[in-house]
A and B are shown apart, each in its own frame.
Chain A
């Protein structure tokens, strides 16, 4: 009898507790909806949502190095109050680059009282929105997913510059990308001429053996290789790839590019791999490092990346 009473009391308590919670969150939603009905000029977000352009932005948080580079390029680095740790070399002070991009400290972010947060697809796992509380507090959260093409990079710059009212600078950055695209396209055409069979085969390594990673089509790096008149040995595959060594060896690339860089890693390791000695690139010593940051970040600095890849492929062209 006593146990039955206890169970009853416990379930009542649980019920009341849960009910108070749901009631609470309902009222939150209502209040946030009533807040957002002003009309101002808008800019279209990638998802297609119209985003209101604020009159002034003083406090920005960026949670990906690509976006930090774009913001820096637009002359907004002094407005960035916090960024993810990878942004430390993207033009902001290292005392600002403190947030963990995969698991951002929402309390810390809220305490900085930002006007806007630029996030990358990586910051949201899709199942939950860690920023919902911040949105309710009136902070704009702009999600800029990883760029899959050079066009994406340009439209990201366009979006951020329109939102921050720095279109003039933004157009400059976009023009610098367009100019570089034209330059490498010309180089590509002049190098291969009309015979596509003359195309050199390139393997671009993003992670060293034993975990060989590269990329296929649907990436801006593949686009750059394409423009430069070389053939990515995985150009027929999609996206980012984890590869078997024997497949790379069998594709017999003429040139190997690597953007692998960390303490204790030396790119000369590639030439010493067992089983790779008959690969054309190894035999002819065509293995070159390209700067990790310039080729991996979708910002105006991709211009440097394009330059680096061009020099690696065609060292004789000035």
Chain B
């Protein structure tokens, strides 16, 4: 097990390095090493050094790769938690309405063109996050009104109904604002382009705190997967823990979605792959899901920006294209070896 974990971490690092090395523009590897070394530890680059290459590596490509990795990690660890809390292998943070909530927030900001001065460029992600979290809060609140015990099936149903209801508003806003229609629709497909370091600097700490909370509750999550009655019998306050974990999930997913747009699929498959390859214990599943999700997202983004270079493909299309075969491969391989 330990060897496998070390192998996974090494692979993740290799993928990050690889993705920084490859882009729609070729920058020689020794230049890349010089640029990163120079930025991290100071020192002077030769005067004749191509200034645009420095910008490309340090300000465009590296933050983009890291943002993709952290977004994949955030969505996948949230996916693992949602699947366990709701005891449904098809559940994902998106099931609860985070993405449609965030979309509504984004659509309102884009269509109205408002900008909150202290937030500046962060107006859109901030409003998206707030709407995403409110959507989940309302969906779970409604579920708890309908069902005192907060059964998983009730949450999933209210979440999906809520999602569809909110999506209706997004479509109406997009349809009514002719100039912004395309911008709103494009926002929903998601991209890691043109975000810079600011987004990475916010997502990283949120991700670490989120994963820390999830791992802290990993024993409760283990018990929850056995069933709510057993969990209650074992002294786990199922309802409160569900509330807490779902809200943390909503915040973490909300931040990712408002930064990068709605990029599905990875949050669904990474936890399953983690459980298949490692174990079902949550103190393993959560960090490993994060690593696998991060790797998959980084590769998806790498392909989206290089396959048809200099043209860019929507990353959400690539996640499904590489995610589905990868998922089938892992499952098929495991079945055969057993």
A residues engaging B (CB < 8 A)?
A: 85-86, 207, 209-212, 234, 237, 241-250, 252, 262-265, 273-279
Contacts and interface: CB of A to CB of B under 8 A. Distances in A.
Interface string B304-333: 010001111000000000000000000000
Contact of B61 (A85, A237, A246, A279): A246
Interface stretch (B51-59, B129-137, B148-156): B51-59
Of the four ranges (under 10, 10 to 19, 20 to 34, 35 or more), the interface on chain B belongs to 35 or more
- In this complex, the member of B60, B113, B114, B309 whose beta carbon has the largest number of chain A beta carbons within 10 angstroms is B60
Given A245-B194, A275-B60, 5 more contacts: A244-B312, A262-B183, A275-B56, A275-B196, A278-B54
Given A244-B24, A249-B52, A274-B60, A264 B113 contact: yes
29 contacts: A85-B178, A86-B178, A209-B194, A210-B191, A211-B191, A211-B193, A212-B193, A234-B310, A237-B310, A237-B311, A241-B311, A242-B311, A246-B24, A246-B56, A246-B60, A249-B52, A250-B52, A250-B53, A252-B52, A262-B113, A264-B112, A273-B194, A274-B59, A275-B56, A275-B59, A275-B196, A276-B55, A278-B55, A279-B52
- In this complex, the member of B55, B180, B191 whose beta carbon has the largest number of chain A beta carbons within 10 angstroms is B55
Interface in B186-202: 186, 191, 193-197
Given A247-B25, A250-B25, A278-B52, A262 B180 contact: yes
Given A86-B178, A262-B180, A262-B183, A244 B51 contact: no
Closest 10 pairs (CB-CB, A-B): A264-B113, A275-B59, A263-B113, A210-B194, A247-B310, A209-B194, A274-B196, A278-B51, A210-B193, A250-B25
- In this complex, the member of A248, A275, A278 whose beta carbon has the largest number of chain B beta carbons within 10 angstroms is A275
Task: Tell me what chain A mostly uses at the interface: helix, strand, loop, or mixed.
Answer: loop
Interface in B37-80: 51-56, 58-61, 63
A243 B311 CA distance: 4
A100 to B, nearest CB: 8
Contacts of A241: 310-311
Contacts of A275: 55-56, 58-60, 196
B30 interface: no
Given A237-B310, A263-B113, A264-B115, A245 B52 contact: no
Interface of B: 23-25, 51-56, 58-61, 63, 112-115, 178-180, 182-183, 186, 191, 193-197, 305, 309-312
A85 B182 CA distance: 15
A279 B60 CA distance: 13
Contacts of B112: 263-264
Nearest to A240: B311
A187 B193 CA distance: 37
Contact of B179 (A247, A262, A277): A262
Nearest to B175: A100
Contacts of B309: 244, 247
Nearest to A234: B310
Contacts of B114: 264
A260 to B, nearest CB: 10
A276 B60 CA distance: 9
A161 to B, nearest CB: 29
Nearest to A265: B113
- In this complex, the member of A212, A241, A247 whose beta carbon has the largest number of chain B beta carbons within 10 angstroms is A247
A204 B278 CA distance: 50
Nearest to B191: A210
A250 B52 CA distance: 6
B151 to A, nearest CB: 37
A239 to B, nearest CB: 10
A247 B24 contact: yes
